[in-house]
A and B are shown apart, each in its own frame.
Chain A
Amino acid sequence: QQPVQSPQAVILREGEDAVINCSSSKALYSVHWYRQKHGEAPVFLMILLKGGEQKGHEKISASFNEKKQQSSLYLTASQLSYSGTYFCGTESEGGTSYGKLTFGQGTILTVHP
């Protein structure tokens, strides 16, 4: 079953912060975050593993709440280059298909000057 992302879309001014959430009904082993620019391939941002620590680099970080099967992506002091569609991909715990991800429907992030 597909994870649910919220919000579906968010509009920011440069310098503002945003949070994107990803929620699953299944027990998760890992959550992967990607950003996709229009017409291009998704670009890997980060992976969070069960039992792992919060990840982040520069102004983008993420957390993984294993008990709630939820992950959140935090974008701080947004830049114009952050615009795009953000997807979470989840890998279920206990599955036999190693590395198989199920993606959310995406969150469209638009940053204005």
Chain B
Amino acid sequence: DGGITQSPKYLFRKEGQNVTLSCEQNLNHDAMYWYRQDPGQGLRLIYYSQIVNDFQKGDIAEGYSVSREKKESFPLTVTSAQKNPTAFYLCASSNLNTQYFGPGTRLTVL
């Protein structure tokens, strides 16, 4: 089955630690995206990549980093510089116009 996978579903980390969230897609989509969602709020774009080895900052990139070494993979690192990292993180990929979302990772920083 084609789709987008994110792992893990729940993640707990201590304050000050970097953590990497995984996103893999087998849909052969060129573009991939990372969003952050806070309770009762919409989706805010962190980073996006339209092609391998290239990516752009979204609206809230501070404290985050990404890489795009393979077409199917777009990992997101939440660094210790991110002041409020606890949130629901969603990865998406798109072909032409439509974005499809993965199941999300809920990150809690203790």
Chain B residues, CB < 8 A from A98: 31, 50
B98 touches A47 (CB 8 A): yes
Total A-B pairs, Cβ < 8 A = 58
The 4 closest A-B pairs by CB, nearest first: A41-B101, A103-B42, A103-B43, A105-B42
Q: Does B85 contact A (CB under 8 A)?
A: no
The docked-state distance in angstroms from the alpha carbon of A49 to that of B97 is 9
Chain B residues, CB < 8 A from A102: 45, 59
A-B contact pairs, 6 of them (CB 8 A): A32-B99, A39-B106, A41-B103, A99-B96, A99-B97, A105-B42
A47 touches B43 (CB 8 A): no
A101 touches B42 (CB 8 A): no
Q: In the complex, what residue of chain B is closest to A29 when comparing beta carbons?
A: B97
Total interface residues on B, CB under 8 Å, equals 25
Assess A87 versus B31: contact at CB under 8 Å? Given A44-B99, A47-B97: no
Chain A residues, CB < 8 A from B35: 103
Produce 1/0 per residue, B71-110, CB < 8 A to A: 0000000000000000000100010111111111010000
Interfacial residues, chain A to chain B (CB-CB below 8 A):
2, 30, 32, 34, 39-44, 47, 49, 87, 89, 91, 97-106
Q: Does B34 contact A (CB under 8 A)?
A: no
The docked-state distance in angstroms from the alpha carbon of A91 to that of B44 is 14
The docked-state distance in angstroms from the alpha carbon of A44 to that of B41 is 18
With A42-B43, A103-B42, A106-B40 given, can you name 4 additional A-B contacts, CB distance below 8 Å? Answer: A87-B43, A89-B99, A99-B48, A99-B94
Chain B residues, CB < 8 A from A43: 101
Q: How far apart are B103's CB and chain A's nearest CB, in angstroms?
A: 5
